Chains A and B, each alone.
Chain A
Amino acid sequence: MGGVPADETVKVVASPRNGGREVVVALGLLVGVSLAVQALFASVRYEWNWAAAWEYRAQFFQGWLLTLGIAAGAMGVSLVVGLGLMAGRRAPWLAVRMLCGGIVEVVRGTPLLVQLLIGYYIVAQQLKVSDPVVVGVLLLGLFEGAYLAEIFRGAVESIGASQREAARAVGFDAAQTYRFVILPQAMRRALPGTAGQMVSLVKDSSLLSVIGIEELVQKVKILNSASYTALEGYLPLAVAYLVVTLPLSRWAQALERRFHYET
């Protein structure tokens, strides 16, 4: 490794054959990683039993659908919560600002696991809401919404004083300034971060199993204990998440690149 001079590496990276090189490197890595994994499994002498796992494919698929549904619902909730908390933190009333700021800090500063347990077993029971899916969607939405609130706030605050002054100068009132000048620009800036947060949301939904929701992870745990398997459940589980998170994060990267070029 040490033999390549630094400037030569730079030239290689910048060369037009970059695309072809990437494919070769990717294939090489794939082979290498596969060999490493193979060696690992050989050393632990894992006994594969895909037949037993295959029995539970319908259950697996059900869990996956529920995870998708929960994620979609929580995304909607998180967007509303994020916008609400962001607006609250910029409100003209001190009490509202402090309340929303406090919510954001507490929600971001504590584990989702604890929020789910307290939220479901204490708060929701007191409020006589017993459907764990409804509670789970709301709590997950609140959790991710607190992060979105900060992303949105950063985006809105990045719209500078000169744009606000320009909006005033053409005669816009406060509502028109938000609608025509601040929000359209802030939304573009918030998009990459928001898409990234959605990737986290999909993965975080796996924690909802602690309040008894049979989403994908919970289904796989049941499948594994029923059929005495482990990896036969967990490997498809990882793939099922990647099917959703990979496109999302590619989209986030694409947005980030586009935003980078536009400014």
Chain B
Amino acid sequence: MRLEAEGVVKRFGAFQALDGATFSTGGESRVVALLGPSGGGKSTLLRVLGCLLPVDGGVVRVDGVVLPAEEAEARGERRKNGFVFQGYNLFPHLTALENVALPLREVHGFEAGAARERAMELLDRLGLKAHAGKRPAQLSGGQQQRAAIARALAPRPRLLLMDEPTSALDPVMTGEVLEVIRELAEEGQQIVLATHEVSFARRVADWVVFLAAGKVVESAGAEAFFERPESEEARGYLGSLMRWR
């Protein structure tokens, strides 16, 4: 994928979460990692790239196509993407199976039988076959997050956008979910990942966008970024995170 942003501004009230963010990913990146200190704008940028949040200024292009501002058009674009958030965000009143199958039927035009079949296929692949009939409250955190990944993957998204998919999980479940993400990346799924798991990002990402205070401070190939970070901010950030790993 090719992601480009020119002077992107996103305000929440008077606060500028994105303050003229500009970058472009070089060539064909499979996995783009959004890194940076807390409050830097990673989650906001991820939502903007996935067409989940409209911008207040600037232009965003995905594979050369400008993201639309109007809601109905944006929804069309959004439906090509899959999202996974920090807090699972499954629908608590539906079983794991229904969580996956409902959007297939209602958004992607699957027949009931085909939706069920596709949903089971995904749950099986994520090791949740035996838990398909359970509601989110009956699943562990890791299982919930894998169900959320199944839901995001079921319609074969062009981009899978994940916002700190493991930060609400304990270390065992984190490992479990990171393993899934690594496999997806190896199979060729295009992924945008906002994360604080720097060592994991280093293993899977081929491009890094580093944000601080709503601006893109560095945008570079992953190897270059981790070996020779150019900015003081990036060096400080990596240093503080690597110290304990």
The complex places the Cα of A173 from the Cα of B107 at a distance, in Å, of 9
Q: Are B93 and A162 in contact (CB under 8 A)?
A: no
Q: Are A163 and B91 in contact (CB under 8 A)?
A: yes
Q: Are A185 and B52 in contact (CB under 8 A)?
A: no
Q: Are B78 and A169 in contact (CB under 8 A)?
A: yes
Residues 158-191 (chain A) with a chain B CB within 8 angstroms:
162-163, 165-173, 176, 180-181, 184-185, 188
Q: Are B137 and A168 in contact (CB under 8 A)?
A: no
Q: B69-86 CB contact bits vs A (8 Å, 1 = yes)?
A: 000000100110001010
Residues on A with C-beta less than 8 A from B68 are: none
Q: Are A176 and B106 in contact (CB under 8 A)?
A: yes
- Smallest CB–CB gap between A15 and chain B, Å? 30
- CB of A262 within 8 Å of the partner chain: yes
Residues on A with C-beta less than 8 A from B92 are: 185
Q: Are A170 and B93 in contact (CB under 8 A)?
A: no
Residues on B with C-beta less than 8 A from A166 are: 83, 85, 89-91
- Smallest CB–CB gap between B152 and chain A, Å? 8
Q: Are B52 and A168 in contact (CB under 8 A)?
A: yes
Q: A246-263 CB contact bits vs B (8 Å, 1 = yes)?
A: 000000000000000010
- Smallest CB–CB gap between A98 and chain B, Å? 24
Q: How many interface residues does B have (CB within 8 Å)? A: 20
Residues on B with C-beta less than 8 A from A262 are: 137
Q: Are A173 and B85 in contact (CB under 8 A)?
A: no
The complex places the Cα of A188 from the Cα of B87 at a distance, in Å, of 22
| Interface class of chain A by DSSP | helix
Contacts A165-B52, A172-B107 given; indicate if A185 touches B89 (C-beta within 8 A): no
Residues 101-140 (chain A) with a chain B CB within 8 angstroms:
none
Residues on B with C-beta less than 8 A from A162 are: 85, 87, 89
Q: How many interface residues does A have (CB within 8 Å)? A: 18
- Smallest CB–CB gap between B94 and chain A, Å? 8
- Smallest CB–CB gap between B45 and chain A, Å? 15
Residues on B with C-beta less than 8 A from A171 are: 75, 78-79, 103, 107-108
Residues on B with C-beta less than 8 A from A168 are: 52, 78
- Smallest CB–CB gap between B104 and chain A, Å? 9
> Which residue of B90, B93, B103, B151 contacts A172 across the interface (Cβ within 8 Å)?
B103
The complex places the Cα of A167 from the Cα of B93 at a distance, in Å, of 13
The complex places the Cα of A262 from the Cα of B78 at a distance, in Å, of 32
Which of A163, A170, A171, A172 has the most chain B CB atoms closer than 10 A to its own CB?
A170
Residues 82-120 (chain B) with a chain A CB within 8 angstroms:
83, 85, 87, 89-93, 102-103, 106-108
- Smallest CB–CB gap between A156 and chain B, Å? 14
The complex places the Cα of A255 from the Cα of B103 at a distance, in Å, of 29
The complex places the Cα of A117 from the Cα of B75 at a distance, in Å, of 52
Residues on A with C-beta less than 8 A from B75 are: 171, 173
Q: Which residue of B lies closest to A174 (CB)?
A: B71
Residues 16-50 (chain A) with a chain B CB within 8 angstroms:
none
Q: Are A165 and B137 in contact (CB under 8 A)?
A: no
The complex places the Cα of A188 from the Cα of B137 at a distance, in Å, of 16
Given contacts A162-B85, A169-B89, A185-B93, 17 further A-B contacts (CB under 8 A): A162-B89, A163-B91, A166-B83, A166-B85, A167-B91, A168-B52, A169-B85, A170-B83, A170-B107, A170-B151, A172-B106, A173-B75, A176-B106, A180-B106, A184-B93, A185-B91, A185-B92
Q: List 10 A-B pairs, minimum CB-CB distance, nearest first.
A: A166-B89, A169-B83, A171-B79, A170-B103, A171-B107, A184-B93, A162-B89, A185-B93, A162-B87, A176-B106
B residues engaging A (CB < 8 A)? 50, 52, 75, 78-79, 83, 85, 87, 89-93, 102-103, 106-108, 137, 151
Task: Write 28 A-B pairs (CB below 8 A) sorted by A numbering.
Answer: A162-B85, A163-B89, A166-B83, A166-B85, A167-B91, A168-B52, A169-B50, A169-B52, A169-B78, A169-B83, A169-B85, A169-B89, A170-B83, A170-B102, A170-B103, A170-B107, A170-B151, A171-B75, A171-B78, A171-B79, A172-B103, A172-B106, A172-B107, A176-B106, A176-B107, A180-B106, A181-B91, A262-B137
A residues engaging B (CB < 8 A)? 162-163, 165-173, 176, 180-181, 184-185, 188, 262
